[in-house]
Amino acid sequence: MRIGLLGASRGLGEQVMIQALERGHEVIALARRPEAFTLTHVGLEVRRGDATDTASVVEGLRGAELVISSLGLARSQLFERTTFYSDSGRIVIDAMQRLGIERLLTVTSGGVEHDDPSFAFFYRWFLKPILLSRAYADMERLEAIVRESDRAWTLVRPTALTDAPATGRYRVSPRFSPDGGTEISRADLAAFILDVAEQGTWVGGTPTVAY
């Protein structure tokens, strides 16, 4: 596959990029600063692209067969009012429509659900509604935009992300977090995302991933 990847410069996106190349796929990685990339690979093409600029995303994704977006805010921005998720989502879908790219995998969060019974008390009553409410509100807007699009979409919802190594053992639930599951490593989540891309599963679904 030739994957158009947004968010490849750090965290989960970097894991998706590395694992996709290891699996033999080609990756077009969009970055605001391509010169900052240190990884070189015969299957990797780094293009300049800004997720808030339609023209650069259209040019950046040209030639991709599917799109994986792991775009997210820096930790310091999570508590601020934002439209980054929804704005970038509109731009990515618009670019895909112009280019005729059908398949989209977008990462949001298991926290977008309001009544997930797996939420711990502290998270349910303090962290989510007080500290993270603005970020989650915009993720909900992003999910609505993706659902209303005409693309073959999947909304991947991780629980809390860690930098632990891959285990190859995790659980997936169609909506709420797997019972008792609170976290997932970026390495394992990247592997799940690529499995979904390769197998064509979870189209129109919201897989929530945890240990």
The pLDDT value given to residue 69:
98
Q: Is the pLDDT of residue 82 over 80?
A: yes
Report how far residue 185's alpha carbon sits from residue 193's, in angstroms, rounded to the nearest whole number.
12
Give the E-state strand segments of the chain in sequence order. Answer: 2-6, 26-31, 44-48, 66-69, 103-107, 152-158, 160-162, 171-173, 183-185, 208-210
Question: Lowest mean pLDDT: which of 51-65, 66-80, 126-140?
Answer: 126-140
The pLDDT value given to residue 39:
92
**Are β-strands 208-210 and 171-173 bridged in parallel, bridged antiparallel, or unpaired?**
antiparallel
The pLDDT value given to residue 178:
93
156-192 pLDDT tens trace: 999 999 999 999 999 999 999 999 899 999 999 999 9
Write down all domains in the chain, each with its CATH number in brackets.
2-210 (3.40.50.720)
pTM for the whole thing? Answer: 0.92
110-139 pLDDT tens trace: 988 877 767 765 566 556 666 677 888 999
Report how far residue 117's alpha carbon sits from residue 135's, in angstroms, rounded to the nearest whole number.
21
Report how far residue 154's alpha carbon sits from residue 135's, in angstroms, rounded to the nearest whole number.
20
Q: Is the pLDDT of residue 108 over 90?
A: yes
Token readout for 170 is 């995790």
Give the distance, in angstroms, between the CA of residue 197 and the centroid of all CA atoms in the same chain: 12
Q: Are 140 and 85 in contact (CB under 8 A)?
A: no
The pLDDT value given to residue 129:
64
Q: Are 207 and 156 in contact (CB under 8 A)?
A: yes
